[in-house]
């Protein structure tokens, strides 16, 4: 997996972000965890869990 640094922060993230908007609406809890596990196992470490996303809160689901 390719990684990039965010400015001078020292944070190293993947250039692709895993969006979680559909978690809790288009995919149930089990499907959401399967998607997260696949992304994590692929090396993705950049997740979008904006507070405007559905209930249940995706940030809680994503950990």
Domain boundaries, the chain: 4-62
The arithmetic mean of pLDDT across residues 49-56, rounded, is 69
3, 5, 47, 53: which one is catalytic? 53
Residue 1, class by beta-carbon neighbours within 10 Å (0-12 exposed, 13-18 middle, 19+ buried)?
exposed
Higher pLDDT, 62 or 49: 49
**pLDDT tens readout for residues 7-43:** 999 999 999 999 988 887 888 889 999 999 999 999 9
Give pLDDT, residue 54.
Answer: 60
Half-sphere exposure of 3 (CA within 13 A, CB side): 11
53 among known catalytic residues: yes
């Amino acid at each position: 997996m390719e990684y990039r640094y965010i400015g001078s922060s020292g944070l190293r993230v993947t250039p692709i972000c895993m969006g979680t908007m559909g978690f809790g609406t288009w995919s149930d809890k089990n499907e959401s965890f399967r998607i997260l596990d696949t992304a994590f196992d692929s090396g993705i470490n950049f997740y979008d869990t904006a507070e405007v996303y559905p209930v249940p809160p995706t940030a809680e689901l994503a950990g």
